[in-house]
């Protein structure tokens, strides 16, 4: 099965190939950026590989796909009318509601006119003489623009490990982020799911309920917390909407881009065992990420962290009836919360079902794919369908595959060969007038994405407005500002336990990728303040070139 869906190839654009701005991606980031740049009166072209809007929520159609930020907060805030009109059916929205919402945004603001679908960017290069970007596509388009804005998401470059003899498999196989729109018949089939990250956990829970035989190929177990998802309470929604602006403001200044009811004030080690257990139990029952906010030092002190990890391991042991399966599902070799915490709707319970089987591919690695299924060192598992929930080449992957070249032909891939180097996660030395929405070095994947997307888009729009008003041709960070930011990003990450896990945050899931912690741990509120200060000081740390 091809990883990239084959889109109908149309002819290149011939009529108007010069724009003020080219934006890549028509997810929430690309759509909002288009909306804001139109307000400035700029001509904008959005290029999108898919044949519809929604980004993550266009591509990730696997069974059980759902967001783990609360619906009332995982949405765009720029239009209070839309905020009031739109209704979310569930506390945590499934893929189809999010895709429906993305389409609503596109229709409501008439965005499709400026979006070119079915088009992948293959090259983007900066010309120092004209001070313009040239963007080329797989359809043969060549566009020029003053501003090149990437809205490609952090988790859009699929990671498909190089399994031996994959092509020999005679059944169907899909990567979760390329699952067919029309779905796949599961009834009566022997299904294999490889991978137990956030995606795998959701897919396993959904597929396990079907009338099929499910084999879960787990290499590393993950910690997962109950979401306690439920239908939206109309009273709660009504009440929330009366104070929507306040809720949004609280999210903007928060650590993680979502409003938190109560911040912790005490160390996990400063309370008695009974009090700690009661706190964790209450948080577990409240669901979602509440457990992570139980104490002040869960991300900075290994002993404190151990108490939360052990609480979750014990929950797994209490839930999963077979003790051997429970032990395999209980993570032991990295601190909790240092890999992206997962959220579920009955994941551990799934392993009590007679049709669900856990296969330990840490002890017995996958050796190859055979015509009939998956062969591990313990034997062959015959399968009709394999779903690969093997994740993404996160953050840098989506940028590198556009072959971006800046000044002197230096490619972004070459410049970042030892790890991403950005100023504020939004710009990089040598790439003038290029802006990365939720790029490495910004809070991005550590935050509620819609909050971070809006902050970046607003900042970029204000910056472009400033350039125009002040008749400036180019903006580019200074090497000193970039070095200082990279150092700061590393420094704050190293104060936490994050680097202790082999996570995709640190590039550990991709062979050969440099081990560098990519997102900014300093918090959405602090980060926003820093970005605003930079702008208020006339774009401190940037070089501005007159037109």
Binding site for ligand N01 (CB under 6 A): 66-68, 155, 161, 194-200, 202, 219-220, 340, 343, 361, 366, 389-392, 445, 504, 509
Give the separation between CA 424 and CA 414, rounded to whole angstroms.
Answer: 20
Strands (E), 377-456: 379-382, 385-388, 404-405, 434-436
CB closer to ligand N01 out of 412 and 445: 445
* Residues 27/437, Cβ–Cβ less than 8 Å: no
Give the separation between CA 105 and CA 417, rounded to whole angstroms.
Answer: 37
Surface-to-core class of residue 517, CB atoms within 10 Å of its CB (0-12 exposed, 13-18 middle, 19+ buried): buried
Rounded to a whole number of angstroms, the minimum distance from the CB of residue 221 to ligand N01 is: 8
Rounded to a whole number of angstroms, the minimum distance from the CB of residue 434 to ligand N01 is: 25
CB closer to ligand N01 out of 283 and 387: 387
Rounded to a whole number of angstroms, the minimum distance from the CB of residue 31 to ligand N01 is: 19
Q: What is the C-alpha R_g of the chain?
A: 23
Q: Are strands 18-24 and 44-47 parallel, antiparallel or unpaired?
A: parallel
> With helix as H, strand as E and coil as C, how does 328-366 read?
HHCCCCCCCCCCCCEEECCHHHHCCCCCEEEEECCCCCE
Rounded to a whole number of angstroms, the minimum distance from the CB of residue 177 to ligand N01 is: 7
CB closer to ligand N01 out of 92 and 133: 92
Give the separation between CA 462 and CA 353, rounded to whole angstroms.
Answer: 54
CB closer to ligand N01 out of 444 and 461: 444
Rounded to a whole number of angstroms, the minimum distance from the CB of residue 38 to ligand N01 is: 29
CB closer to ligand N01 out of 62 and 148: 62
Rounded to a whole number of angstroms, the minimum distance from the CB of residue 385 to ligand N01 is: 17
CB closer to ligand N01 out of 106 and 445: 445
CB closer to ligand N01 out of 289 and 423: 289
Give the separation between CA 321 and CA 30, rounded to whole angstroms.
Answer: 46
Residue 14 has phi, psi (to 5 degrees) of -120, -25
Q: 459 by DSSP, 3-state: which? A: helix
CB closer to ligand N01 out of 232 and 366: 366
Rounded to a whole number of angstroms, the minimum distance from the CB of residue 253 to ligand N01 is: 22
Rounded to a whole number of angstroms, the minimum distance from the CB of residue 132 to ligand N01 is: 35
CB closer to ligand N01 out of 389 and 464: 389
Interior angle at CA 172, CA 166 and CA 173, nearest 5:
55
Could you give the dihedral angle defined by the CA atoms of residues 497, 503, 508 and 514, in that order, rounded to the nearest 10 degrees?
A: -60
Rounded to a whole number of angstroms, the minimum distance from the CB of residue 503 to ligand N01 is: 8
Rounded to a whole number of angstroms, the minimum distance from the CB of residue 504 to ligand N01 is: 5
Listed residue (193, 190, 152) closest to 175, CA to CA = 193
Listed residue (34, 67, 63, 246) closest to 151, CA to CA = 34
CB closer to ligand N01 out of 111 and 157: 157
Could you give the dihedral angle defined by the CA atoms of residues 175, 345, 288 and 63, in that order, rounded to the nearest 10 degrees?
A: 20
CB closer to ligand N01 out of 130 and 165: 165
CB closer to ligand N01 out of 310 and 367: 367
Rounded to a whole number of angstroms, the minimum distance from the CB of residue 209 to ligand N01 is: 17
Rounded to a whole number of angstroms, the minimum distance from the CB of residue 335 to ligand N01 is: 15
The contacts found for 425-429 with CB under 8 angstroms, 24 or more apart, are: 425/485, 425/489, 425/519, 425/520, 426/456, 426/459, 426/460, 426/531, 427/475, 427/476, 427/477, 427/542, 428/477, 428/482, 429/476, 429/477, 429/478, 429/479, 429/482
Handedness of CA 186, 189, 193, 194 (dihedral sign): negative
Rounded to a whole number of angstroms, the minimum distance from the CB of residue 399 to ligand N01 is: 17
Rounded to a whole number of angstroms, the minimum distance from the CB of residue 344 to ligand N01 is: 9
CB closer to ligand N01 out of 199 and 450: 199
Distances (CA, A) of 297 to 229, 341, 414, 496, 497: 27, 16, 38, 9, 10
* Residues 493/435, Cβ–Cβ less than 8 Å: no
Give the separation between CA 153 and CA 444, rounded to whole angstroms.
Answer: 9
Neighbours of 49 (CB within 10 A): 22
């Amino acid at each position: 099965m091809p990883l990239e869906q084959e889109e109908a190839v149309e002819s290149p654009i011939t009529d108007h190939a010069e724009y003020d701005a080219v934006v890549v991606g028509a997810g929430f980031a690309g759509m909002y950026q288009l909306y804001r740049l139109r307000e400035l009166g700029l001509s904008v072209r959005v290029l999108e590989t898919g044949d519809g809007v929604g980004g993550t929520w266009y591509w990730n159609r696997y069974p059980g796909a759902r967001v783990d930020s609360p619906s009332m907060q995982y949405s765009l805030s720029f239009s209070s009318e839309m905020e009031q009109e739109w209704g979310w059916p569930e506390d945590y929205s499934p893929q189809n509601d999010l895709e429906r919402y993305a389409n609503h945004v596109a229709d409501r603001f008439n965005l499709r006119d400026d979006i070119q679908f079915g088009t992948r960017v293959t090259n983007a290069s900066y010309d120092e003489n004209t001070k313009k970007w040239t963007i080329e596509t797989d359809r043969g388009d060549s566009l020029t623009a003053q501003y090149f804005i990437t809205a490609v998401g952090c988790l859009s470059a699929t990671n498909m490990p190089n399994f031996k003899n994959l092509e020999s498999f005679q059944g169907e196989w899909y990567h979760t982020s390329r699952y067919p729109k029309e779905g796949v018949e599961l009834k009566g089939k022997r299904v294999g799911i490889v991978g137990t990250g956030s995606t795998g956990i959701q897919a396993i829970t959904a597929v396990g309920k079907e009338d099929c035989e499910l084999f879960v190929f787990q290499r590393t177990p993950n910690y997962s917390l109950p979401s306690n998802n439920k239908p939206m309470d109309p009273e709660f929604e009504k009440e929330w909407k009366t104070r929507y602006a306040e809720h949004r403001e609280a999210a903007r200044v928060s650590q993680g881009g979502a409003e938190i009811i109560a911040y912790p004030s005490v160390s996990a080690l400063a309370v008695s065992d009974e009090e700690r257990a009661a706190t964790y139990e209450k948080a577990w029952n409240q669901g979602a990420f509440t457990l992570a906010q139980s104490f002040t030092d869960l991300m900075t002190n290994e002993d404190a962290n151990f108490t939360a990890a052990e609480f979750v391991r014990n929950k797994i042991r209490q839930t999963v009836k077979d003790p051997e399966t429970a032990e395999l599902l209980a993570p032991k070799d990295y601190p909790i919360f240092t890999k992206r915490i997962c959220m579920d709707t009955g994941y551990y319970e799934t392993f009590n079902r007679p049709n669900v089987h856990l296969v330990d591919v840490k002890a017995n690695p996958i050796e190859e794919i055979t015509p009939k299924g998956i062969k591990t060192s313990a034997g062959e598992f015959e399968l009709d369908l394999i779903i690969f929930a093997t994740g993404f080449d996160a953050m840098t992957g989506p940028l590198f595959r556009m072959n971006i070249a800046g000044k002197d032909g230096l490619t972004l891939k070459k410049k970042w060969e030892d790890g991403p180097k950005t100023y504020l996660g939004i710009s990089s030395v040598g790439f003038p007038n290029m802006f990365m929405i939720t790029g490495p070095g910004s809070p991005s994947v550590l935050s509620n994405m819609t909050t971070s997307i809006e902050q970046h888009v607003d900042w970029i729009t204000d910056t472009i407005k400033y350039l125009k008003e002040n008749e400036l041709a180019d903006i580019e960070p200074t090497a000193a500002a970039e070095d200082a930011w990279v150092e700061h990003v590393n420094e704050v990450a190293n104060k936490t336990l994050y680097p202790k896990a082999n996570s995709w945050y640190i590039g550990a899931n991709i062979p050969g990728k440099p081990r560098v912690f990519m997102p900014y741990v300093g918090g959405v509120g602090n980060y926003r303040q820093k970005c605003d200060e930079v702008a208020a000081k006339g774009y401190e740390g940037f070089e501005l070139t007159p037109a």
